[in-house]
């Protein structure tokens, strides 16, 4: 069976498929790639995490932030980015110190926690203090395990959909760039990680195009449970494989 960028053929296809689905959701809601794809990516190749999700979604985040820029909550982005800086530094330090097994446990538990908090009905107002805290949490989890969406999305989940999407996209555009720089300086981002990230970008861009054409069908109460269920399933599969 042929390999693609050093990945088993069907494993590579699975990565492209799950990143595509995540990108469709991220283009409509602001998050999706990390929480949906990270467990699958790690199951196929540990070098995907965290750089694969961080770098591959940068074009999507930048494009969504630019196209929806009139909806951006600029004070909110600023507060969240202030919190992200120390979160990134702590996340990079943890990533450098843990084994692949520990990383797998961290990814699966982070995704499962993200699913749980996404189902909460509790309302979190996007105050400055809440956004700084969410930015720290997102910086830590995003840099350590490639899943930075839940903390910031939880804070904005009851805001206007356009504001949430645009604000989170700008936050990720700037924050993920900073995370990538710190990972490179820490020796956690090399040629292999860059090649794997580049491999995922076409799937991300195709997801963006799909979202733009079918946005009316991709929002609403029927879609969110499907995405969260798939995320939970892949996280549980990763957890079982790691433990057994």
CA 93 to chain centre: 19
Cβ(35)–Cβ(115) below 8 Å:
yes
Note the pLDDT of residue 41.
Answer: 93
Note the pLDDT of residue 182.
Answer: 94
Note the pLDDT of residue 3.
Answer: 65
Q: Which two tokens stand for residue 140?
A: 């830590």
Residue 136: is its pLDDT beyond 90?
A: yes
Residue 86: is its pLDDT beyond 60?
A: yes
What percent of the chain is modeled with pLDDT above 90? Answer: 45
Residue 2: is its pLDDT beyond 70?
A: no
Exposure string over 202-216, b if 16+ CB within 10 A, otherwise e: ebbbebbebbeeeee
The overall average pLDDT reported for the chain is: 87
Note the pLDDT of residue 232.
Answer: 83
């Amino acid at each position: 069976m042929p390999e693609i960028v050093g990945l088993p053929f069907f494993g590579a296809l699975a990565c492209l498929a799950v990143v595509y689905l995540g990108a469709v959701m991220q283009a409509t809601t602001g998050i999706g790639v990390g929480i949906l794809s990270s467990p699958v990516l790690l199951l196929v190749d540990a070098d995907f995490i965290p750089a694969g999700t961080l770098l591959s979604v940068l074009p999507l985040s930048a494009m969504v932030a630019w196209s929806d820029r009139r909806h951006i909550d600029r004070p909110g982005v600023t507060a969240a980015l202030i919190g992200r800086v120390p979160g990134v530094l702590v996340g990079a330090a943890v990533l450098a110190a843990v084994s692949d097994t520990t990383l797998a446990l961290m990814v699966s538990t982070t995704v499962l926690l993200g699913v749980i908090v996404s189902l909460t009905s509790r309302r979190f107002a996007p105050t400055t203090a809440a956004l700084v805290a969410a930015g720290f949490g997102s910086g830590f989890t995003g840099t350590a395990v490639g899943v930075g969406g839940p903390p910031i999305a939880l804070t904005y989940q009851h805001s206007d959909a356009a504001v949430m999407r645009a604000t989170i996209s700008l936050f990720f555009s700037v924050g993920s760039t900073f995370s990538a720089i710190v990972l490179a300086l820490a020796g956690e981002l090399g040629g292999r990680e860059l090649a794997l990230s580049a491999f995922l970008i076409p799937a991300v861009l195709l997801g963006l195009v799909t979202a733009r054409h079918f946005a009316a069908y991709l929002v609403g109460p029927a879609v969110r449970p499907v995405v969260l269920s798939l995320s939970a399933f892949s996280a549980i599969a990763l957890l079982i494989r790691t433990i057994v």
